[in-house]
Structure 1
């Protein structure tokens, strides 16, 4: 080592002595060498200050470095305003290096004294936080980040896991992917069992573990990445589960799998699925993934058209708390559905045809747009009756006082024999009673206009009473009905659209009852005079 220093000192003395003898004004520069910076395992930044003297210039500028006199390497430096610098790469970890600055003006060479630095040593690997990506009844997916390998090749990378009550750990290997992420799928876990898992990495220097993550295998499924539900529900399991609860983010690919489990494929084909109870309270619906039904794709916070169409196995469902829109016929043909719970954030809720077993709507008390009473869905102020459960049979249903409007399709296929309205009802929506199983309907005196197709397809309807305030009857109002009697309480015959009585043999088979003393008014008014029997 002393010989090494002596060699360097001699070089400096000789270089300084090599002055330009032919031109005394061309003086060698003054050099100052700085301490190395930016030192890592394999890199270091060298710099120095160069001050020109007289008319002297700099033609060549180098840093010379090495771990021994026999391994000294000369590298060209980059000139800066104050001097020169260079970044050394490919250094050996945990190694001491000597270095100096060498400058030539063409006639003389000047060198600084030598300084030294030591590169950082290699270490054990560095891991980020481990997270649980998905969790199913007998499967879990975990992920971690390899921050760095410590400068050494990895001998192990993966996850160690065990039953919480056991000391025996199992290891599953993983490969680092994009940005160092690595993950593994833990399979064949025991149901209803508590597990502990931690990420593990090792190299020649040492090994490292992350903190432990605990989870319990049960029917509560956790999905953090949309489209990965299939990672935690195996092909063997998906046709065996009858009840599951899911939390996390789901897209079209996930709902396609759920339909499969509910007994219906993406094109409506029958599958072996037997899932009947589905709890999605903590789910967020997001766009993306494959189509969930035919060519339908998910949209953010929306339960789309046909999402559960014809899933007849479905008995009970709790909708996601973050859902804002439920589109028309999202549950079309769900003949087994008995209860439908509307959560906090829903602002738009449309009817679904064919839910023939639906007994009641339930609404979260936190919802600001809807309320339910006796299983029937109203707006929050209970001024509009929105939906009557298609499977809730009654002999008589009287619309509560204070309800002013009956919404479109509100009584779609409702199994009510007799419907009677409070005096407060003044507005009927289009096809409000379409397909309902009414035998008799009594409209409020406050309803002035009977909308189009309001009783369309009510094949069991035999008697209708129109209130005193009735002024107009729209097209196809009784289309498909087989009325035996129509009672109109208005003293002045209501005006009728040209096709108001289309779709049935009303004039021949239906008896028209009118107020006392008004028979002639109706007899000579069109189309009322076409009724063969008019009775006061």
Structure 2
């Protein structure tokens, strides 16, 4: 009996030893299936862990999924450090799917238990808030963004609007542009009417509206997108409007249109425009767009050369509050302009020739660079007289005490008969009196140098008095003048540039008056000795 048990035990021991040496070592892996992630209406991410056993390997790895036993799909998985994953696309919205992971080592296959997930259902479209791009007397442009279509094809996309006195809501369709933008132009609106607009989109699931945007149609035009003024004005009103107020951003294309409406084209040609009053207080000038005049383009916060050149219809203009620079001859030839208001932020303001009706400058009280007195423009400290209005008719003008300098071109074409200077004036800018209508000018004793071309083109000038401090007269000082008398109060003859008296027959026709007892000094000084008549 004992020999039998001993035999059995030996067989077991031998069998165990044999199993260790010759038993299978390629074992199936251990799988763990994860819950689906990244679920949307049409996508989901499936993943799982794969733990190898023994010398096992993975030959094939699949995710199997389907919404029913009849619709099963096997998708090769992507191996990761932890196991495998796959991104499913093209799923049906609002549908429940079953799935499992299947792995083969080439000899046998194992799979996980089955899990399930549900894709999100389709929804109504999603819209951003609607915005008003611009508006005019009878038109408006509105814009919205379609965030998503809800997974369904759109059946309607556009805007619904109604007037304050109308119960009927009108619909205008719109087409999708880049990045989901859609816009529409509302036309044939009634003037001086309040309107409410809202964006609208619909699909098979439902419809959605944005909040209402309200506006009133009037002569006040709103532009949020530079270069779109033509959309607001339209061809029908372009040559009919006589007065408009604009707010928003304007570029070169917009100013080109304004010139057209003011009666002048981009090359200076006449147009049928009737616009005469232009209020730009709430406008910001920005770069971009087409040239507004010839080859001139807009710059940020700048009214550029020739912007309103020869727009003779222009009677009144309010400049933008944000403008910092007004270049020379912005308003050249604006013969109808009577008042020019300089707004808050202007730091540089140059003259414009040919504004023969301009009677006064006005300056914002908060402007830190300029001030005004009796319609005449000065620097803030009132030490420099900057500009005298070309259309301000005055028989005698005496420059106020405290003014130390007359800026260049300050009295250009000014219609003043007699100009008298306070003793405080000690400086003159180049061409300060160019083209002025003076008949008589008396300069202060504090002015030592008479700058070049200072009286150039003053064809009506007959009498000039140079103060006792005069030491030098520059070239072309009296070019184009027909002086009858020149009074020099300096005891010592001032030095003169070689062409100081070019441009006129001064020596033969003009009488030179000099201080008592100084006649001989002038007689023997060049070029003073060339005057035929010298009177003490």
TM class by shorter chain equals over 0.9
What is the CA-CA distance between 1:79 and the residue it aligns to?
1.1
In structure 2, do the counterparts of structure 1 residues 23 and 463 end up closer, same or farther at CA, with 3 Å as the change threshold?
A: farther
1:91 counterpart = 2:91: yes
1:167 corresponds to which residue? 167
What is the CA-CA distance between 1:164 and the residue it aligns to?
2.2
What is the CA-CA distance between 1:388 and the residue it aligns to?
0.6
What is the CA-CA distance between 1:166 and the residue it aligns to?
2.4
Aligned residues: 515
Equivalence map 1:262-277=2 (5 Å): 262-277=262-277
SS state at 1:335 partner: coil
For 2:337 and 2:76, locate their aligned partners in 1 and report how far apart those are by CA, in whole Å: 79
For 2:108 and 2:368, locate their aligned partners in 1 and report how far apart those are by CA, in whole Å: 87
1:360 corresponds to which residue? 360
Q: Which runs of 5+ in 2 are unaligned?
A: 1-21
What is the CA-CA distance between 1:401 and the residue it aligns to?
1.0
For 1:338 and 1:388, locate their aligned partners in 2 and report how far apart those are by CA, in whole Å: 13
Answer with 98-107 or 456-465: which moved more.
98-107
Q: Could you give the per-residue CA deviations for residues 33-88 of structure 1, whole angstroms, max 9, x where no partner exists?
A: 11111111100011111111121111211110000111110001111111111110
What is the CA-CA distance between 1:367 and the residue it aligns to?
1.3
1:107 corresponds to which residue? 107
SS state at 2:507 partner: helix
2:189 corresponds to which residue? 189
For 2:375 and 2:446, locate their aligned partners in 1 and report how far apart those are by CA, in whole Å: 26
1:32 counterpart = 2:32: yes
For 1:210 and 1:24, locate their aligned partners in 2 and report how far apart those are by CA, in whole Å: 69
For 2:325 and 2:77, locate their aligned partners in 1 and report how far apart those are by CA, in whole Å: 65
2:258 corresponds to which residue? 258
Q: Could you give the per-residue CA deviations for residues 208-247 of structure 1, whole angstroms, max 9, x where no partner exists?
A: 0000000000000001111100001011101111110001
1:379 counterpart = 2:356: no
1:323 corresponds to which residue? 323
1:477 corresponds to which residue? 477
What is the CA-CA distance between 1:23 and the residue it aligns to?
6.2
Q: Could you give the per-residue CA deviations for residues 292-315 of structure 1, whole angstroms, max 9, x where no partner exists?
A: 111111111111111000000000
What is the CA-CA distance between 1:110 and the residue it aligns to?
1.1
SS state at 2:235 partner: coil
SS state at 1:419 partner: strand
For 1:186 and 1:91, locate their aligned partners in 2 and report how far apart those are by CA, in whole Å: 40
1:348 corresponds to which residue? 348
For 2:381 and 2:501, locate their aligned partners in 1 and report how far apart those are by CA, in whole Å: 35
- Segments of 4+ moved more than 3 angstroms: none
What is the CA-CA distance between 1:165 and the residue it aligns to?
3.1
What is the CA-CA distance between 1:521 and the residue it aligns to?
0.6
SS state at 1:244 partner: strand
For 2:257 and 2:298, locate their aligned partners in 1 and report how far apart those are by CA, in whole Å: 13
SS state at 1:144 partner: strand
What is the CA-CA distance between 1:130 and the residue it aligns to?
0.3
1:15 corresponds to which residue? none
SS state at 2:525 partner: coil
2:156 corresponds to which residue? 156
Q: Once superposed, what is the RMSD of the aligned Cα atoms?
A: 0.9
For 2:365 and 2:105, locate their aligned partners in 1 and report how far apart those are by CA, in whole Å: 86
2:10 corresponds to which residue? none
1:369 corresponds to which residue? 369
Q: Could you give the per-residue CA deviations for residues 289-347 of structure 1, whole angstroms, max 9, x where no partner exists?
A: 11111111111111111100000000010111111111111110000001111111111
For 2:360 and 2:327, locate their aligned partners in 1 and report how far apart those are by CA, in whole Å: 18
Q: Could you give the per-residue CA deviations for residues 423-477 of structure 1, whole angstroms, max 9, x where no partner exists?
A: 1111100000000000000101000000000000000000000001000000110
What is the CA-CA distance between 1:173 and the residue it aligns to?
0.3
SS state at 2:75 partner: strand
For 1:376 and 1:74, locate their aligned partners in 2 and report how far apart those are by CA, in whole Å: 88
In structure 2, do the counterparts of structure 1 residues 146 and 23 end up closer, same or farther at CA, with 3 Å as the change threshold?
A: farther
2:13 corresponds to which residue? none
1:338 corresponds to which residue? 338
2:18 corresponds to which residue? none
1:401 corresponds to which residue? 401
1:463 counterpart = 2:443: no
1:534 counterpart = 2:500: no
SS state at 2:141 partner: strand
1:134 corresponds to which residue? 134
1:59 corresponds to which residue? 59
Q: Could you give the per-residue CA deviations for residues 167-225 of structure 1, whole angstroms, max 9, x where no partner exists?
A: 21000000111000000000000000000000001111110000000000000000111
For 1:369 and 1:500, locate their aligned partners in 2 and report how far apart those are by CA, in whole Å: 35
Q: Which runs of 5+ in 1 are unaligned?
A: 1-21
1:449 counterpart = 2:449: yes
For 2:490 and 2:231, locate their aligned partners in 1 and report how far apart those are by CA, in whole Å: 66
